[in-house]
């Protein structure tokens, strides 16, 4: 059996695990990342790409900010469409100059992967049968096999960071009598299409509420767009031809946007379920959870990747403080500190999802209530500011 030694073993090579590894390396803290998928599979996952300024700043801190600086698209507005009319929410004006930046998660992940490879840091892909040991003590370890090697291997470490997503193994190692799980599953999904067409609104994200259901117009670049329509979870991707998708999307937008839209063949098409989920606590002994391993938000509001980045910011700082001072305050407070921010983001995502989507009881009275709240939202500066503040990301000191 092969044994490796490091300070922090990171399970999961998605954005959270890679970003944590980059920040720890810059602070002189050794780490090894293991991942059950191949690098190609990790990069093939199409996910959100709207970054708060906190996340952008963290990428620069990790030494991979040039990609988002060169290729990111700054957004100053959210456009809300309802009753066939578009209403801009001037985010930058309402928040004193803050913005969000469109930068695809695939590109962000690639930036982190390439940096880690160039630095010669250890990442082990396609691992199976992962197990955690001794997380209640002072000498935890992670054991696994690889798909091309039958011998079991072990990483001995000081701490384990579970960044392995909702279906990962790390959370399963928190005892059931300690772990609390909170969940809401929504009765619809998002049909998402990626296409090499210019975005219909290059400097704003468009959220649409209509009697036909929700729609979202986003982007990955000035030549690649990401569009969504709400659909029943019983639908199959094969039910939706490209022509049907574009026709339905246009029907949910205002006439001006629908007329401007450039359509084209899809290069990726999928249906994603929507759920709100939080697991508490995010720490058990020497195991720390981050990102989707402990929380899921509906994509409405684009909080998932940004919450993961904030988890990583708090966790990296806790480890750095521990290794510099041997004090445990940061790691002791990690879970409670993160959860304050997570529940605020969960509330915002739930509220925006509830406001913009068609639910089974939305027809008639429910639709009128949504439209009344939307009218109040776009005419009330205080409520518009609240939306804008949450959308660009609450300041870190807001959680204290």
CA 386 vs. chain centroid, Å, equals 21
Locate 125 and state its tokens.
Answer: 């892909």
Q: Among 390, 183, 195, 205, which residue's Cα sits nearest to residue 298?
A: 183
User: 207, 314, 322, 334: which is the annotated catalytic residue?
Assistant: 207
Residue 232 bears catalytic tag: no
Q: Among 135, 132, 115, 116, which residue's Cα sits nearest to residue 124?
A: 116
User: 15, 75, 199, 357: which is the annotated catalytic residue?
Assistant: 75
Residue 391 bears catalytic tag: yes
Can you state the angle between helices 15-26 and 304-325, rounded to 10 degrees?
30
Rounded to a whole number of angstroms, the CA Rg of the chain reads: 22
Cβ–Cβ contacts within 10 Å for residue 330, how many? 18
Cα–Cα distance measured from residue 223 to residue 209, given in angstroms and rounded to the nearest whole number = 25
Residue burial 157-176, b: 16+ Cβ < 10 Å; e: rest: bbbbbbbbbeebbbbebbee
Residue 227 bears catalytic tag: no
User: 250, 299, 313, 357: which is the annotated catalytic residue?
Assistant: 299
* CB-CB contact of 68 with 381 (8 Å): no
Q: Among 46, 15, 43, 44, which residue's Cα sits nearest to residue 227?
A: 46
List C-alpha distances in Å: 86 to 79, 214, 301, 362: 6, 14, 18, 21
Cα–Cα distance measured from residue 111 to residue 104, given in angstroms and rounded to the nearest whole number = 11
Cβ–Cβ contacts within 10 Å for residue 156, how many? 16
User: 284, 295, 303, 313: which is the annotated catalytic residue?
Assistant: 303
| Active-site residue list | 75, 207, 299, 303, 391
């Amino acid at each position: 059996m092969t044994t490796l030694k490091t300070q922090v073993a990171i399970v999961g090579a998605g954005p959270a695990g890679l970003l944590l590894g980059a920040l720890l390396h810059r602070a002189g803290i050794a780490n090894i990342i293991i991942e059950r998928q191949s690098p190609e599979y990790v990069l093939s996952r199409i996910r959100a790409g709207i970054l708060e300024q906190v996340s952008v700043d963290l990428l620069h801190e990790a030494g991979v900010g040039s990609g988002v600086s060169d290729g990111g698209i700054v957004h100053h507005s959210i456009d809300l469409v309802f009753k066939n009319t578009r209403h801009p929410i001037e985010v930058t004006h309402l928040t004193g100059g803050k913005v969000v930046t469109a930068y695809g998660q695939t590109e962000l992940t690639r930036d982190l992967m390439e940096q880690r490879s160039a630095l010669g840091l250890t990442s082990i892909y396609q691992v199976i049968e992962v197990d955690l040991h001794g997380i209640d003590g002072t000498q935890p370890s992670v054991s696994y096999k690889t798909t091309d090697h039958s011998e079991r291997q072990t990483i001995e470490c000081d701490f384990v960071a579970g960044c392995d997503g909702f279906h990962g193994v790390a959370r399963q190692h928190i005892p059931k009598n300690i772990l609390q799980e909170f969940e809401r599953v929504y009765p619809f999904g998002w049909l998402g299409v990626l296409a090499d067409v210019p975005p219909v609104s290059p400097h704003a994200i468009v959220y649409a509420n209509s009697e036909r259901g929700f729609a979202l117009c986003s982007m990955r670049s000035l030549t690649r767009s990401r569009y969504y329509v709400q659909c029943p979870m019983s639908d199959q991707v094969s039910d939706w031809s490209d022509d049907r998708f574009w026709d339905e999307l246009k029907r949910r937008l205002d006439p001006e946007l629908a007329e401007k839209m450039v359509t084209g063949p899809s290069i990726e098409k999928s249906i994603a379920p929507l759920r709100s989920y939080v697991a508490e606590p995010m720490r058990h002994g020497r195991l720390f959870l981050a990102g989707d391993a402990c929380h899921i938000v509906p994509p409405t509001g684009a909080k998932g990747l940004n919450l993961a980045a904030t988890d990583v910011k708090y966790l990296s700082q806790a480890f750095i403080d521990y290794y510099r001072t041997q004090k445990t305050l940061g790691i002791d407070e990690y879970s409670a500190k993160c959860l304050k921010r997570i529940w605020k983001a969960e509330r915002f995502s739930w509220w925006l999802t509830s406001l913009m989507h068609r639910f089974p009881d939305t027809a008639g009275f429910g639709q009128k209530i949504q439209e009344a709240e939307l009218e109040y939202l776009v005419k009330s500066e205080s409520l518009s500011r609240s939306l804008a503040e949450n959308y660009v990301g609450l300041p870190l000191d807001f959680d204290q």
